[in-house]
Amino acid sequence: MTAPVRTLTPTAGTWTVSDSRTRVTFSVRNLGLSTRGSIACRWGELEVGGDGAPLRLAAELDLATVDTGIAKRDVDLRRPWLLDTDRQPTMTWSADRFTRHDDGRWSAEGVLGLRGTATPLRVTGSPEVMPDGWVRVRATASLDRTAVGIRAPRALIGRRVEVEVEAWLSRTGPG
């Protein structure tokens, strides 16, 4: 028998994202077909206030780890006209405005940094306090790739990149 998961907010304090357990995946249309891939989370941190509400969130992804399962496509994604990983090897996201929904989900209004640009990005997700003390946050976002300077014909690469995050956080600081 497994212990039930509580869909609650984490306790006050600083929570650190586990880079080994966290998964960031994406999907985008490529030549009319859905292409899926993943990018490793290098680090992340969430600060939670005394009332259980998130106060600040920041994360950094390692673009050199982009993996779609096809090595040639991954190399192409790293090129200057797409992710430009030689000049900008990381993608960042930070948020300090949060809205709680009636169903327990949270929306975080933040800023995505990619390719030397910054664009607003809303991420919506829900925290789950696990029996072992970890917090799992499942979240989604939809990015317009043109907002960060990635230009390509829509027939080649779809304009919207759908992002899914399964972040695992552990408590690292007092409330």
Residue 116 has pLDDT above 80, yes or no: yes
Q: What is the DSSP letter of 23?
A: E
Instruction: Record the pTM.
Output: 0.88
Which value, to the nearest 10 degrees, does the dihedral of the CA atoms of residues 87, 72, 21, 59 take?
A: 20
The answer to whether residue 34 sits within a structural domain is yes
What's the mean pLDDT in 116-128?
Answer: 95
What's the number of domains the chain is made of? Answer: 1
What is the pLDDT, as a whole number, of residue 11?
85
Q: Identify the domain containing residue 155 by its residue range.
A: 13-171
Each residue of 37-67: pLDDT tens digit?
999 999 999 999 998 899 999 999 999 999 9
The answer to whether residue 151 sits within a structural domain is yes
Q: 25: which residues sit within 8 A by CB, 6+ positions away?
A: 36, 37, 38, 163, 164, 165
Each residue of 79-107: pLDDT tens digit?
998 999 999 999 999 999 999 999 989 99
Domain containing residue 89: CATH number? 2.40.128.110
